[in-house]
Chain A
Amino acid sequence: MGWGWDESIRAVNDKAGNKAGQIHNKPIRTKPFNKASFVIQITLLTLVALTLYGFSSFDYKDVHFFEAAYNSLVTVKTMFLEPHFQHFTFAGALKQVIVTLGLAFLTTLFGAVIALFLGLLAARNLSSNTVSVMIKGMVAFIRGVPTVLWVLIFAVAAGLGSVAAVIGMTFHSVGYLIKAYSESFEELDKDVVEALKASGANWWQIVFQAVIPSSITYLISWTFMRFEINFAVAVAMGAAAGAGGIGFDMFMASAFYYDVREIGVITYFILAFAIALEILATRMKRKLRAAE
């Protein structure tokens, strides 16, 4: 949840297919010099070295590690085993979760609408190369700025609240969905576009009669996945950027009331909704796949 799960699956799987094919074609050599394994070793070594260097350079401020770790365990235990309602009721918490869902929904909706158009322009088979590269560069920049910073930057202009949160969160949604959408569009058979062009269809007709209908199932499942991610993001933004919803309650419970048990209740609520969304997404994907 919130960790870009599916996006990364794609990033990894894209190339995994090639690999399996190559293994079988190569003659067996016992210890060849292989650029791939060399790079793997260098990368692993670098990561380990940086980790060790990191551990040695951190300023720990004489924290008593074992004591603190033990306290954390106690905190987690109290949180999950003795949750209680203090500053709001069951109905109140439910309402706040719905507010968070609402934020996630608006973000996803705006993101989807904007990304649909930009995704068409970013798809190489539907637009020019320059435009496609430009949009992809823009997406890389948008994704470089963490969501919380987008929200806080907009909060200066719009004030802390749902407006800044929704607009700030929309940036990453747009970036994510442009990538997902344009890749779905690029999968469209070249002949279809060519045939429609030959019969005199204009760009809009091609888009609405061929491109979108043929990729609609992918669009829906990507959009729903983003909704799932946005729910997690909305919780975090509530806590970090005053966006409201259940995340804000969590922030209040921990930063003002120091009430671990209430955080427990809130975590249960978030977990329940997150898992429900995950199940719903899996069901939907299966249904869409069956419909194809």
Chain B
Amino acid sequence: MQADFFAKKRRNSFIYFALLIFLTWGAITVTEYDVIKGFTSIPKAVEWTFSNFYPNEKAMTKLPDILKTLVETVLVSIAATTVAALFALLCAILGSNTTGINGIFSSFSRAVAALFRNIDVAAWSMILLFSFGQNVLTGYFALFFGTFGFLTRAFMESIDEVSQSSVEALRATGAGYFPIIFQSVIPASMPQLLSWILFMVETNIRHATLIGILTGTGIGFLFSLYYKSLNYSSASLVVIVIVAAILIIEYISNYVRRVIL
């Protein structure tokens, strides 16, 4: 039987491998991906980066402007996250299994969260661009909706995970709904909730760049402006500034996470 086992195993791996090759071939065909160009473009891109894509003196004169836009983008990301977190907390408390009011509302808020989460930031940007125009609020709301959807799901799971037993205990002692929420559920799940919020701030700064390019706001717009006018040295400065901001925020939130969790 052992020979059979190995033969079967080999046959299975062969089938999976063939399937993978077939899918790859299919993907290459539909996307019109040029494999050779794919390989040659990497050294070309590296060469180009080293010869053009670094800030020069002229770009440095734009640094104040760039930093000002960066600060705005970071603030938009943070503001969108905190306000979305507030709404998400409300929705999560009303909709979670432990603290929810009733089944209908619970499924309703889950469905809303899923909808908001699954409509891409890109789609939100387009929708909002129609009515808000090239405004800081376009980026703000695009981030807000996605964040709201994500945090609602995350908060629900955290609340269910942390507070199931304490809610039961408090209910048994006759505590009312609001004391249970404010004395037990929120304090107990706070570290987790904060950890999610910090994660979302990091993510939103990345998304803000993309949204900026789509809607013409913030640091993303500045990048695409320089990029499209072939001012690569200024564009590279924007990239460096974004990377620095993201790394600093990641460092801070990792520190906070280490302390609170």
A residues sitting closer than 8 Å to B (CB atoms) are: 1-5, 8, 11-12, 15-16, 18-19, 35-36, 39-40, 43-44, 47-48, 50-51, 53-55, 57-61, 63, 65, 68-69, 71-72, 75-76, 79, 95, 98-99, 101-103, 105-106, 109, 140-141, 143-149, 152-154, 156-158, 161-164, 166-167, 232, 235-236, 239-241, 244-245, 247, 250-251, 253-255, 258, 260, 263, 266-267, 270-271, 274-275, 278
Contacts and interface: CB of A to CB of B under 8 A. Distances in A.
The list of the 9 closest CB pairs from A to B, nearest first, reads A54-B75, A71-B131, A158-B41, A15-B261, A157-B45, A102-B27, A254-B126, A144-B243, A54-B79
Given A72-B128, A154-B45, A149 B239 contact: yes
29 contacts: A1-B117, A3-B150, A8-B199, A12-B196, A12-B261, A50-B79, A58-B136, A61-B135, A61-B136, A68-B133, A68-B137, A71-B131, A75-B131, A99-B30, A102-B26, A140-B250, A144-B244, A144-B246, A148-B209, A154-B45, A156-B45, A162-B31, A164-B41, A240-B213, A245-B31, A250-B126, A260-B127, A270-B123, A274-B118
Nearest to A235: B120
B41 A11 contact: no
Interface residues of B, number: 90
A126 B15 CA distance: 30
Interface string B202-233: 01001101100110000010011001000010
Nearest to B53: A153
A96 B210 CA distance: 21
Contacts of B5: none
Dominant secondary structure at the A interface: helix
A145 B123 CA distance: 22
B82 interface: yes
B32 A162 contact: yes
Given A3-B146, A156-B45, A236-B121, A68 B126 contact: no
Interface stretch (B56-64, B173-181, B186-194): B186-194
Contacts of B250: 140, 144
B137 A63 contact: yes
Contacts of A253: 126
A79 B127 contact: yes
Given A68-B137, A240-B210, A11 B48 contact: no
Given A59-B136, A99-B31, A163-B37, A47 B197 contact: yes
Given A40-B191, A157-B44, A275 B242 contact: no
